[in-house]
Amino acid sequence: MIKGRVLALTSNFPRWREDSTTPFVLHLCRELQKIDWQVDVLAPHAPGAAKRGTIEGVRVERFQYMWPSSWQTVCYQGGAMGNLRRNKLNYLQLPFLLFFEWLSLRRKLLSGKYDILHSHWLLPQGFIGRLTASSLSIPHIITIHGGDIFGLKGGIFSRTKRFALQGAAGITVNSSVTEKAVLKLVAKTSPVQRIPMGIKTRESPDFSGKVDELKGLYKKNGTPLLIFTGRLVEEKGVADFLTAIKILLADAVEVRALIVGDGQDKGDMEHLAEELGIADNVVFTGWQPSELIPCFLAAADIFVGPSRTAANGWVEAQGLTFVEAMMAGTPVIASNVGGIVDSVYHEKTGLLVEERNPAQIAQAVKRLLSNSSLRAHLQKNGREMAENNFSRRASALAFDTLFSKVMQCRN
């Protein structure tokens, strides 16, 4: 029996199977369907994507906001904020994106098919969601992922965020730092609940074989393999990772680095590796399917996540990759910023270093390579923490409780 019908409004959803777009919204929708919620998705269209379709059992409709479709360049490919920074002309598309998102959402909600609207990201979805849902008396839940609360600060943006939040039947955040930022905008009595996004906690049947294959490809003569996975953008700190590799090699600590992911700074990072003279020790794999990321992580000896606070105030709100590394049994070195500290506890589930400090990263690598008992300690505690607190099912069950409560209040 269906518990209720939910429409998820998002600007970040896989455009097709095995897309490079981060799939955590898809994973949440799929897990909710397993526990008897009907979840449909409304997202912006993108060149090459179907207007309507189903991905992993989740129905999605994509609204077009520019004609021809090739002109749609605000969303996807690194996210709206990155696309706006990279090309200021993308700002000209924003009025069309907002209008057609509102129009498409209103049409969907007027169909009478949905009991709850679930907006992912505060801007623009939370704002558009409040405008539409409140006029139709449909409960509105906003999930804040981080970049939406830390970016676009001050003036009209803060007032718009506050307007969206004040009308919500429920507000969820993914970490303590995100919650703190939200509570600066709304009263402490607001319905804010911390629900981190979840990760896969079961290994695929061919997991061990794939890990061995990757070790054969990338580990040479037993040389320790360090790994970064994520978007190649300035705030992820890949430049600090590369500089740390140079420091290690200069200190006669032989290591190899694997950089898994894509992004607008990939070319710059490849050039930096050449400039630093470490290109022979660094492999850029490009984008990899999400189901292979745990295999890459398990094939490595140490995961390094050197995230930085960006000039616009962005910080790593949660950092699923850090938890994925723990789940894969790979010791973690991470920057002591943002929501990372909700999962990486210094000397318990990982090692924390100062942001923008390659020397500390190099020192932490040396410490782990020379101390097998510390590595084992971090691996054990990290895996237990990931399994107990960050599974996709645990995340879905928390949303299940929230949705049920909202449904009861409505009835």
Q: Write the pLDDT tens digit of every residue in 195-245.
A: 999 998 877 667 889 999 999 999 988 899 999 999 998 999 999 999 999
Asked if the domains 4-198+391-410 and 207-389 are classified in one and the same CATH topology, the answer is yes
User: What pLDDT sits at residue 205?
Assistant: 66
Residue 113 · residue 5 · CB < 8 Å? yes
Mean pLDDT of 178-183: 92
Q: Is the pLDDT of residue 151 over 80?
A: no
Tokens of 276: 């630093």
- Please name which of 142, 147, 149 lies closest in space to residue 165, comparing C-alpha atoms: 142
User: What pLDDT sits at residue 310?
Assistant: 85
275, 282, 339 from 285: Cα distances, Å: 19, 10, 27
User: What pLDDT sits at residue 220?
Assistant: 83
User: What pLDDT sits at residue 177?
Assistant: 92
Q: Give the Cα separation of 215 and 277 in Å (integer).
A: 24
Contacts of 216 (CB under 8 A, 6+ apart): none
Structural fold of domain 207-389:
Rossmann fold (3.40.50)
> Has domain 4-198+391-410 been given CATH number 3.40.50.720?
no
Residue 299 · residue 214 · CB < 8 Å? yes
Q: State the pLDDT confidence band at 315, using cuts at 50, 70 and 90.
A: confident
Domain coordinates of the chain in residue numbers?
Answer: 4-198+391-410, 207-389
User: What pLDDT sits at residue 178?
Assistant: 93
Q: What are 320-367's pLDDT values in tens digits?
A: 899 999 999 999 999 999 999 999 999 999 999 999 999 999 999 999
Q: Is the pLDDT of residue 149 over 80?
A: yes
Q: State the pLDDT confidence band at 152, using cuts at 50, 70 and 90.
A: confident
Average pLDDT, the chain: 93
Q: State the pLDDT confidence band at 264, using cuts at 50, 70 and 90.
A: confident
Q: Is the pLDDT of residue 131 over 70?
A: yes
Mean pLDDT of 151-175: 88
CB atoms within 10 A of CB 312: 13
Mean pLDDT of 314-325: 90
Q: Give the Cα separation of 385 and 326 in Å (integer).
A: 8
The reported pTM is 0.91
User: What pLDDT sits at residue 119?
Assistant: 98
User: What pLDDT sits at residue 411?
Assistant: 67
Mean pLDDT of 246-263: 96
Mean pLDDT of 278-289: 96
Contacts of 99 (CB under 8 A, 6+ apart): 65
